[in-house]
Structure 1
């Protein structure tokens, strides 16, 4: 009989998980939003950009922005499928030895052990981001109400040597339903609900200085689930014993300087450090620190061509079973056809080397500059795939 192993939960990770990307336009441009985001997406990237708007803009609605991303660097999904087939075949021979010759059985056992051994330490991970916003730009004091969710997950298979230490003679007594090898799911989610305020000053030189702030209520969630590989069941996920949560307040700040078609920006997110630990599961727990993230970016926009480049000035700790950090360098390009349609390309590179380089692309449709439908996709090595969708209205 087919076992769940890590297949069911890890499949969900691969399909439903995705860097900061509540706006598909920004994701299509490599995720570079600190100097490039629209006023409506400003709460998610740089609150100062709420003051960067056209005179015709009175109110904007982002309902919603959704991004998903998954990576299977070890081809773990294929390995799991292969192991399950071998496991089922051995179980069938155990119940009826006439299903195979001795030579076939010995070869199958060797393949089973190799397949299990090769999965040791392999991971599958991904991200999910969701954003909602209502923005009212103003020359005096721009305001926006926003909500966002950022979730990161990682699954890992850990192989116990005892599951490998048996010979064909012991096949009749081998318990394929209670292996010591286990699979884990580790996750972190951060939910924000806040207000963004911004103001811009027109300088005597003709340049413009913009400052923004986003006070927000914040809730952190950790998740740690572990079970042996043959009893790993998604029906157990909602059990509260695997979750921990913590509430607090946090703050984002942003600064932007506009000189003609050029813009320089600095954003700081989650300026108050937050610490949280996971539940204790099978004698293990992990701790996570949500630390301030500083990003410096520049952008050029002449109406039909937009280009942007940004770098994170701080390293970000990943909720990872590998104890990883990341620090992104991002770049993007957009061609705009009379504010009716847009074509976008982007690239990002992890300066820490924990993540592979990613190429991004997307399109936008914006009839009458009122309805905006933005789509983005990304790809990288090791079966890295991602997608984003944003529906917004500006009046």
Structure 2
């Protein structure tokens, strides 16, 4: 049996799909937030407000006139089941096997990869911000690509020397172009900020599913693709209380959207953009910030999966608890750290850290990183100017 698959291409292939599954693909986090565990409901600045909470676009100094984020770029990998290692071992066995004589060895290798999944995400964003004393406006371009590769293995697979089990790669990318409008209202308890982000999105899907012995990253262009366009909204509010406390909430993707992945080799799925409500609480001073954000409901993501092994719809549901902090001088340097936990239990806990450089609080260079074990890591970087 001749195998076409090159095991050295598996990881680059999956990352490549995450980065190029449509013309523009990205995740919607900025480096400062990423380093602080992903918090942002009450801690985003007026430039990055479109990523986290549109209301924060109105929370700025009266001297601020302009802000530009160009760009934020990020990449995240999560291989909780050690899929890449197990797949390499499997393809070593299969490529050297002589079926049906070596069926037992192949079955043993297949058994080790049953249920394995891995994820990759990539991201970018651009924002132009124009704050005023009456209202604030951001123009933004952002998006995300969310891909995963999984083994679709069935028991007692080999029949007359034929392997029916598959490897599958699904990917979804959402590119959003929109505007954020926000305004501050004074109340007896403090300043209240309200914001809305209407946006036009392009949703692209990708499905590459092939049997184990024909799965070939070099033929990724043979994957099934589709596109869908639509409109959506983000709504947010934030209230500044006494003693540096702030509370807030945001609803992202207020209009539910669902897109079907085009079937390939009997494998198909759909991707769900359901409304996500996130609440936040923070305390800040001139030199430090502490914040907690929590998702009120779960993000559903992939569902209606049609596969040989019966992958369940809730395998990638996430509901995040984020805790983060920052210390430093706004006009010089900041040190950041954070913690992320999935309340649904589908993702491992993650620790984050990062650093920011902001000479004279005009030019900003921010870097954030995450670590959740040897197979779960991420990196985000961005530059920004405001004055």
TM-score range (shorter-chain normalised) is 0.7 to 0.9
Consecutive aligned runs of 4 or more in structure 1 exceeding 6 Å deviation: none
Checking the alignment, whether the CA contact within 8 Å between 1:221 and 1:244 is kept in structure 2 is yes
Which of residues 40, 47, 52 in structure 2 aligns to 1:45?
52
Structure 1, 369-378 or 15-24: larger mean CA deviation = 15-24
Counterparts in 2 of 1:162-311, with a 5 A limit? Answer: 163-164=157-158, 179-204=163-188, 207-239=190-222, 242-260=224-242, 261-311=244-294
The 2-side partners of 1:163 and 1:285 are apart by: 20
Counterparts in 2 of 1:128-147, with a 5 A limit? Answer: 128-147=122-141
Q: Does 1:323 align with 2:307?
A: no
Cα deviations across residues 124-181 of structure 1 (Å, max 9, x unaligned)? 1122222110001112110010011111111111234565467xxxxxxx5xxx7332
Checking the alignment, whether the CA contact within 8 Å between 1:35 and 1:264 is kept in structure 2 is yes
Counterparts in 2 of 1:52-201, with a 5 A limit? Answer: 52-90=59-97, 111-161=105-155, 163-164=157-158, 179-201=163-185
Checking the alignment, whether the CA contact within 8 Å between 1:17 and 1:69 is kept in structure 2 is no
Checking the alignment, whether the CA contact within 8 Å between 1:7 and 1:80 is kept in structure 2 is no
Cα deviations across residues 300-348 of structure 1 (Å, max 9, x unaligned)? 1101100100111121112265422111111101011352111000001
Checking the alignment, whether the CA contact within 8 Å between 2:28 and 2:142 is kept in structure 1 is no
The 1-side partners of 2:52 and 2:7 are apart by: 35
The 1-side partners of 2:198 and 2:155 are apart by: 51
Task: Report deviation, 1:211.
Answer: 0.6
TM-score (normalised: structure 1): 0.86
Residue in 1 that maps onto 2:306: none
Measured at CA, do residues 21 and 221 of structure 1 come closer, stay the same or move farther in structure 2, by a change above 3 Å?
closer
The 1-side partners of 2:353 and 2:17 are apart by: 19
Task: Report deviation, 1:122.
Answer: 1.1
Task: Report deviation, 1:238.
Answer: 3.1
Cα deviations across residues 88-117 of structure 1 (Å, max 9, x unaligned)? 4446xx9xxxxxxxxxxx9x8755432222
The 2-side partners of 1:201 and 1:291 are apart by: 30
Gaps of 5+ in 2: 20-25, 304-310
SS in 2 for 1:237: helix
Number of residue-to-residue matches in the alignment: 370
Checking the alignment, whether the CA contact within 8 Å between 1:64 and 1:132 is kept in structure 2 is yes
SS in 2 for 1:252: strand
Structure 1, 69-78 or 14-23: larger mean CA deviation = 14-23
Task: Report deviation, 1:86.
Answer: 3.0
The 2-side partners of 1:156 and 1:316 are apart by: 20
Residue in 2 that maps onto 1:171: none
The 2-side partners of 1:315 and 1:112 are apart by: 38
Checking the alignment, whether the CA contact within 8 Å between 2:30 and 2:380 is kept in structure 1 is yes
The 1-side partners of 2:330 and 2:71 are apart by: 24
